[in-house]
Amino acid sequence: MTKQRLVILGGGESGVGTALLGKAKGYEVFVSDKGKIKEKYKQVLIHNEIEWEDESHTESKILNADIVMKSPGIPDKVELIKQIRKKGISVVSEIEFASKFTEATIVGITGSNGKTTTATLTHHILKEALNVGLAGNIGDSFAKQVLEEDFKNYVLEISSFQLDDIIDFKPNIAVLLNITPDHLDRYDYKFENYIKSKFRIAMNQTKDDYLIYDADDEVIVEHLKNNPVQSTLLPFSLVKPIKNGAYLDNENIRLTINNNEIIMPTAKIKLEGNHNTKNAMAASTVAHLLKIRKQTIRESLENFQAVEHRLEEVLKINKVQYINDSKATNVNATYYALESMSAPTVWIVGGVDKGNNYEELFPFVNEKVKAIICLGVDNEKLMNTFGNMVDVIIETQYMQEAVKIAYKLSESGDSVLLSPACASFDLFENYEDRGRQFKDAVRNL
């Protein structure tokens, strides 16, 4: 019997993980990356005798595939992808491919914001009692973990791009945190397309599966009304009582599943802010479903450390607090950051604009922001949008310089906030690189 040919486009974490799993499962594997494959990944491919190429795509070696796994970063508009699809070759994402080879219980978490925090928090609670892996958009690839660890449970942080390329993938528990305009450049600038993409997380679910979602999010509620799903619904809310699910009752989270109730005081939750109360509700609902003890859930919420690059307090210098929120790659994430600021703020913003509408930030900028530093290759839109709202608006293309300017502009009691509301690819490798450069620059002051 001839081996099935698996072609992988993109030699990053998910690509190399899929290559290893594919090879172990008897596929003939070829990895092709239009950019440069990082040395550490090259070594893994060489060591495992997997054929690869970088800095080009050889079509003859790609268009003869039985199945193509493409990196989530490659849009469907690319000519090569169109050719692959035209030939009727199946195009899948890593989560689709890897899920075929595990019997594990899968918790899939998506949303425009809060995915990493909620996935990390959910894993933090579950690992106290279960054999559980954390993967998807975070940490070691899902495929690699299926091959090497084969956990009984997985918490997956899943982006809309990964969901676009699923066929049969089905999480037993799906979490939909929120939907706000993001990545519209990938969805023909139609919000509706992006919404549908997020809801793909539930498309294969049955009544035995669960969908945990934010009942305060009008976009989600409206879409559910018009496009009902098969799953059992477990909503959470800050403003209305919920019979089956979680809600805020005075200062307590009240979580009920089939008459089994757990009450948790929000004052004890390590993460601050309304958005984090919601993240905690989502994570606790997952844990409660998977029969984690109430005491364990409470303790885990009390001792959880925040995620790097997400409202991360770096240092206080001359009574000025420097905060790294580099993970805020869209407007809604920056909305949460500015909402949580209690001191006058010097705000560092900018990068690759994904079709942003900054209007929802205006009240916070007027009320809390004393100066704006635009850090991007093209800052024109930011300058035009915010120029009249603050006394000082300055642009730069260097993190080091941005931090020095912030240092000069801030006074005792202020905060300096890096919350870019944009992607990082114009000046940085990724948002982590941007966040680390910010932290280094602050420490060098």
Instruction: Write out the chain's pLDDT in tens, 445 residues.
Output: 789 999 999 999 999 999 999 999 999 999 999 999 999 999 999 999 999 999 999 999 999 999 999 998 898 999 999 999 999 999 999 999 999 999 999 999 999 988 999 999 999 999 999 999 999 988 889 999 999 998 999 999 999 999 999 999 999 999 999 998 877 888 888 898 999 999 999 999 999 999 999 999 999 999 999 999 999 999 999 999 999 999 999 999 999 999 999 999 998 887 878 888 999 999 999 999 999 999 999 999 999 977 789 889 899 999 999 999 999 999 989 998 998 898 999 999 999 988 889 999 999 999 999 999 999 999 999 999 999 999 999 999 999 999 999 999 999 999 999 999 999 989 999 999 999 999 999 999 9
Q: How far apart are CA 63 and CA 159, in angstroms?
A: 26
Indicate where the chain has its CATH 3.40.50.720 domain(s).
5-92
Q: Is 170 annotated as a binding residue?
A: no
Evaluate whether 419 touches 347 at the Cβ level (below 8 Å).
yes
Domain 5-92 carries which CATH code? 3.40.50.720
Q: Is 113 annotated as a binding residue?
A: yes
pLDDT of residue 308: 85
Evaluate whether 199 touches 248 at the Cβ level (below 8 Å).
no
pLDDT of residue 137: 83
Q: Which two tokens stand for residue 442?
A: 């602050």
Determine the distance from the C-alpha atom of residue 428 to the mean position of all C-alpha atoms in its chain, rounded to a whole number.
18
Indicate where the chain has its CATH 3.90.190.20 domain(s).
312-443
Burial class from Cβ neighbours inside 10 Å (0-12, 13-18, 19+) for residue 159 reads buried
Domain 312-443 carries which CATH code? 3.90.190.20
pLDDT of residue 73: 86
Q: How far apart are CA 384 and CA 381, in angstroms?
A: 5
Q: How far apart are CA 299 and CA 277, in angstroms?
A: 15
Pairing of strands 252-257, 260-265: antiparallel
Neighbours of 345 (CB within 10 A): 26
Q: Is 112 annotated as a binding residue?
A: yes
Q: Is 332 annotated as a binding residue?
A: no
pLDDT of residue 107: 98
pLDDT of residue 136: 92
Q: How far apart are CA 162 and CA 180, in angstroms?
A: 17
Q: Is 118 annotated as a binding residue?
A: no
Q: How far apart are CA 405 and CA 243, in angstroms?
A: 51
Q: Is 116 annotated as a binding residue?
A: yes
Neighbours of 340 (CB within 10 A): 19
pLDDT of residue 227: 95
Indicate where the chain has its CATH 3.40.1190.10 domain(s).
96-303
Q: Is 99 annotated as a binding residue?
A: no
pLDDT of residue 190: 86
Determine the distance from the C-alpha atom of residue 39 to the mean position of all C-alpha atoms in its chain, rounded to a whole number.
25
What is the CATH architecture of 96-303? 3-Layer(aba) Sandwich (3.40)
* Residue corresponding to tokens 């425009």: 112
